[in-house]
Amino acid sequence: MDELAAIELAMNRIRRSQTRHSLAKRAGIQNVDVVVLGVVDAVDQGPVAGADEVSVREVADRLGIDPSRGSRLASAAIEAGWVRRVASQADGRRTGLVLTDSGVELVEEAHRTRQRHYDELMTEWPAEDRAEFARLLLRFTESLESS
């Protein structure tokens, strides 16, 4: 199998695993809509360079959805109490999104659960392999985001 076919296979496996929402189930956060959890993750990532807050458009871009769906999902995250709207510091006509205290707790638990799961998956990996995998995966995802 050539490298590109192997990458495609691996990416398909990752996509299918994410579609099953297995990490959300492992975290014991079944009562949280995983799509809304995606909004919480997107807000947690912070504003883009040069911005003061995370916009609904940025959330939509990070989730790979259109802005109107991003707005509906942001509203769902607000209704769930994970996110709140704030006035833009740069333009009073705009609003941004920030995590509530419960949103911070949710995303911290999600981070802990994911990292614990990855640690379990790579328990037999040498530290050098983990470091190289992290470096290459970050490089790959940065290319995905900039394309």
Residue spans of the domains in the chain: they are 32-146
CA atoms within 13 A on the CB side of 145: 11
Give 93 or 25, the one with higher predicted confidence.
93
Residues 20-26: what's their mean pLDDT? 59
In percent, the amount of the chain with pLDDT more than 90 equals 56
Architecture of the structural domain at 32-146 = Orthogonal Bundle (1.10)
Q: Which residues does residue 99 pair with via DSSP β-bridges, in sequence order?
A: 83
Average pLDDT value over all residues in the chain: 87
Q: What is the DSSP letter of 47?
A: P
Per residue in 86-117, pLDDT tens? Answer: 987 777 677 899 999 999 999 999 899 889 98
Helices 101-121/34-44 angle, 10° precision: 100
Structure token digits, residue 14: 């990752």
Within the chain, residue ranges assigned H as helices are 3-19, 22-26, 34-44, 56-63, 67-79, 101-121, 127-146
